[in-house]
Amino acid sequence: MLASSHGADQDLLGKERSGFLHDLIAGLPDELRDPLVLSTLEELSNREIGSMLGISQAAVRSRAFRARQILRERLQVRMGVKK
């Protein structure tokens, strides 16, 4: 019984984390969120993303990098990690 309780707790924690990350990503500005989602979740190349969004490959890399920075900072705040 303890094992199933532990499993249920882990499932709930996973769902909370997933929802929190979803909210963080959804809160990004479109110009940062779109390259991040397309590169990370959809696994498209920078060339494909650039073509879809009408921006250069360098802009795709830059925007995805900036989106990751913002997410990292927000996660650190949420978890109480000091810089």
Contacts 24+ apart (CB under 8 A), 24-28: 24/71, 24/74, 24/75, 25/71, 28/67, 28/70, 28/71
Indicate the pTM of the whole model. Answer: 0.77
- Return per-residue pLDDT of the chain as tens, 83 residues: 555 666 887 777 777 777 888 999 999 999 999 999 999 999 999 999 999 999 999 999 999 999 999 999 998 888 887 76
Which of 1.20.1540.10, 3.40.190.10, 1.10.10.10, 3.40.50.10420 is the CATH number of 2-79? 1.10.10.10
Domain coordinates of the chain in residue numbers?
2-79
Name the CA dihedral angle for 60, 64, 70, 74, rounded to a multiple of 10 degrees.
150
Are 61 and 46 in contact, with CB atoms under 8 Å apart? yes
